[in-house]
Amino acid sequence: MKKILVTGGAGFIGSAVIRHLINDTEHSVINVDKLTYAGNLSSLISISDDSRYAFERVDICDAGALKRVFNAHQPDIVMHLAAESHVDRSIDGPGEFIQTNIVGTYTLLEQARAYYEQLPPNRREHFRFHHISTDEVYGDLPHPDDVSDADKNNLPLFTEDTGYEPSSPYSASKAASDHLVRAWARTYKLPTLVTNCSNNYGPYHFPEKLIPLVILNALAGKPLPVYGKGNQIRDWLYVEDHARALVVVATQGKLGETYNIGGHNEKQNLDVVKTICHILDEVRPKSTAYTDQITYVADRPGHDMRYAIDASKIERELGWKPQETFESGIRKTVQWYLDHQDWVQQIQSGEYQQWLDKNYTERQA
């Protein structure tokens, strides 16, 4: 059994990791989260009373608070998920992304290094720092619309050796954080691992992202916005599959290695939207088709056209592969939002933030 410190554990992916750790393993968890707009403790209610779970409301840019957390909880593994992650927000205001994703990662690395260096040798040899990143650091790949018919069946995928060409402030900030982690490993011998994942979807996803936005807008009778022609391709990964992969890497991965994690599900955005509409037509029918709500909007600046992950390394070396197909995962996701309208109401109305402001004051270091 390990003590695992998870940063960003109240976020979409982080909360899935923590639920998996508590429900399916014997490890204990320290959840370190600032609780920004996208962090929500209600996603962890099912495990919040478990004796193996602890929560610390801490900003990863606060070195003093991080030092206290490391000293108090004595973790064996750090899983660093805390990040600003919405591309559109990064275009409108990149400063927060630079602060959290770069400065925050630097601060966490320094506190992890100080903690690691004072560990006794028998504990130091088992310590790990796992940095969770994105496939967006690689830029984009050739799109089938832009290649000859002969090349359509042989399109390249992102591998662990693909060069970095980030396109947005968000992806640039994540690329910088990846470089920091590798530099701390080489210069200071901090034992690190890096993973880069494709687009996640599933329960508890904040409604600003494509899939939950489409589900909720469709149910509310609102327009379903699609950028450009909707032909941007993403590789979709069910969040619970990703959580399993991350724990496998954190506990079994080879130090110094990078592992790409993908769902083997390349889909055009427009097809994703139409799939959701067709599921809703079936399970929540109305007088008109949900596809009638699709609205095309101007594309965003610097929009990457195609992402696709080669996840053969993690399958070959660690035995992980996704359990959900896109068809099974998206149906589960749509049904989850239909069954959890109370959670949606809390998020959209601001009730959760009001509760947080009233009942949860930040612990001072």
Catalytic residues: 135-136, 170
Residues 54 and 22 sit within 8 Å (Cβ to Cβ): no
- Antiparallel, parallel or unpaired: β 192-197 and 128-134: parallel
Cα distances (angstroms) measured from residue 343 to each of 40, 339, 346, 348, 352: 10, 9, 5, 9, 9
Closest CA to 134 of 168, 107, 111: 168
- What residue has token string 């998996």? 20
At residue 127's C-alpha, the angle toward residues 12 and 365, to 5°, is 65
CA atoms of 275 and 222, how far apart (whole Å): 17
Q: What angle do CA 58, 53, 205 make, to 5 degrees?
A: 70
What values do phi and psi take at 285, rounded to 5? Answer: -65, 150
Enter the tokens of residue 322: 């996704």
CA distances from 108 to 81, 133, 335 (A): 11, 15, 37
Residue 324, sorted as left (phi over 0), alpha (psi -120 to 50) or beta, turns out to be beta
Residue 209: what residue type? Answer: K
For residue 257, give the DSSP letter: -
Rounded Cα–Cα distance for residues 260 and 196 (Å): 5
CA 211 from chain centre, in angstroms, equals 14
Backbone φ and ψ for 310, nearest 5 degrees, come out as -90, 105
